[in-house]
Amino acid sequence: MTCRQHTPQTDVWRSATMRAASDLVERVAPPSPSYEWRSSTMQTLEAAVTPGTTANFAVTFTVTTLLIPRIPYRPLAMAVGFAAGSILH
């Protein structure tokens, strides 16, 4: 005797329900804030790590000329330099 495997239709029902719920949320909820509404701290941080910006150049120059040479333990200074180079490009 063969046994039929019955697959429940809950997957289809859930996806239709989730679609209806997300449509409702889009209609009711306010839109998410755009990037202009970020804090000035976050905008400055983004400018500092974005290659080619003036802030990135200033941070890179400051870290490589003032911060890294003052680290007395040479392996730590190399690690900090590598991390700064990776972050600041």
Could you read off the pLDDT of 24-45 as tens digits, one per residue?
A: 777 776 666 665 667 788 888 8
Name which residue leads in pLDDT, 27 or 83: 83
pLDDT at 34 (0 to 100): 60
Looking at residue 35, its pLDDT comes to 58
Give the dihedral of Cα atoms 83, 41, 44, 61; nearest 10 deg.
-50
- State how far Cα 77 lies from the chain centre: 27
**Residue 7: pLDDT over 60:** no
Q: Place 6 in a pLDDT band, splitting at 50, 70 and 90.
A: low
The pLDDT > 90 percentage for the chain reads 0
